[in-house]
């Protein structure tokens, strides 16, 4: 079952929140939806979930209008969390699962499995309000995936998580992907988008400014960075043709910024002229760098 948006536009009065957006996401695929605050990400989620109607364009699920999507097939983790603080963990998860059509008999064993899987610190009889922020967030995530959705929407899921809990969440996302769930993922942390997403879309003022598989998007900006370890000093490398800047990193690594990736071959030949060197890596820019460049452009 695939989700497809075709030339979708959403207008509020004179403001165009989403402008001619098109993409398709297949089962087992993770799509990253990125952009600055106000770019149109949350509006896109609300359009997919049919909370609001598109001004124009078409949104389909398995070839059918989204109005016909069984809501029990969807899991949605909103940026604004929503747990009931004065109920137990078990009752909280049971409530959300029953809303998605699961029976109490089938839910209870799944609750035990997911609490262990997510490494929640606390007993299922504990009140939600007694949990740490990170564990509350894990309860919110469990409530989103407990019914094994076919479409999963995650809006800023890593917000406030420490690195250990962030890794647990990532592993759960990959588990859902392996089950064939189509996942749309939004985050301001580009390292998570880079690690998790098969493809991405970047919105700016509602318009699509980047779209493609993650590696291809990065490579489209050229590989103009070299990281190397060699006997050559920073000063020696700085004067090579095409080298704009050399920066010393940790562990004896030097990072060279090139005017163009065509200069990389000459640099490689120079640093290896006397034989083996421990490291030479020609790299594209990071997704965070690309995000900053595109977000800062005034004209696309």
148-203 residue pLDDT tens? 999 999 998 988 788 999 999 999 999 999 999 999 999 888 999 999 999 999 99
pLDDT value at 300 more than 70: no
Q: CA–CA separation, 162 vs 134, rounded Å?
A: 8
State the average pLDDT over residues 96-114: 90
Cβ atoms within 10 Å, residue 280: 15
All domains in the chain, ordered by first residue: 3-218 (3.40.50.300), 223-283 (3.30.70)
Of the pLDDT bands very low, low, confident and very high (cuts 50, 70, 90), residue 80 is confident
Q: Return the pLDDT at 298.
A: 54
State the average pLDDT over residues 274-288: 94
Q: 75: closest CA among 186, 231, 182?
A: 182
Q: CA–CA separation, 92 vs 176, rounded Å?
A: 21
DSSP secondary structure string for all residues of 48-110: HTTSS--SEEEEEETTEEGGGS-GGGEEEE-SS----TTSBHHHHHHHHHHHTT--HHHHHHH
Q: CA–CA separation, 263 vs 28, rounded Å?
A: 39
State the average pLDDT over residues 200-227: 94
Least reliable range by pLDDT among 94-103, 235-244, 289-298: 289-298
pLDDT value at 299 more than 70: no
């Amino acid at each position: 079952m695939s989700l497809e948006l075709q030339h979708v536009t959403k207008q509020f009065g004179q403001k165009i929140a989403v402008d001619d957006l098109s993409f398709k996401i297949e089962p087992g695929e993770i799509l990253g939806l990125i952009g600055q605050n106000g770019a149109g990400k949350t509006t896109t989620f609300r359009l997919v979930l049919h909370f609001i109607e598109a001004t124009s364009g078409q949104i389909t699920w398995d070839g059918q209008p989204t109005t016909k999507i069984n809501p029990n097939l969807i899991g949605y983790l909103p940026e604004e969390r929503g747990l009931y603080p004065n109920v137990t963990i078990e009752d909280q998860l049971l409530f959300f699962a029953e809303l998605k059509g699961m029976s109490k008999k089938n839910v209870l064993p799944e609750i035990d499995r997911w609490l262990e899987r997510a490494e929640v610190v606390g007993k299922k009889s504990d009140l939600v309000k007694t949990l740490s922020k990170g564990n509350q967030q894990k309860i919110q995530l469990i409530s989103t995936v407990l019914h094994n959705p076919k479409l999963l929407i995650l809006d800023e899921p890593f917000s406030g998580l420490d690195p250990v809990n962030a890794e647990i969440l990532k592993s759960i996302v990959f588990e859902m992907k392996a089950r064939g769930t189509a996942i749309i993922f939004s985050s301001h942390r580009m390292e998570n988008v880079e690690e998790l997403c098969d493809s991405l879309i970047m919105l700016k003022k509602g318009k699509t400014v980047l779209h493609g598989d993650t590696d291809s998007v990065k490579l489209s900006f050229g590989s103009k960075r070299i990281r190397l370890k060699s006997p050559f000093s920073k000063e020696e490398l700085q004067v090579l043709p095409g080298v704009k800047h050399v920066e010393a990193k940790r562990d004896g690594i030097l990072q060279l910024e090139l005017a163009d990736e065509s200069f990389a071959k000459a640099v490689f030949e120079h640093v290896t002229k006397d034989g083996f060197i421990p490291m030479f890596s020609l790299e594209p820019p990071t997704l965070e760098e690309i995000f900053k460049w595109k977000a800062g452009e005034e004209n696309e």
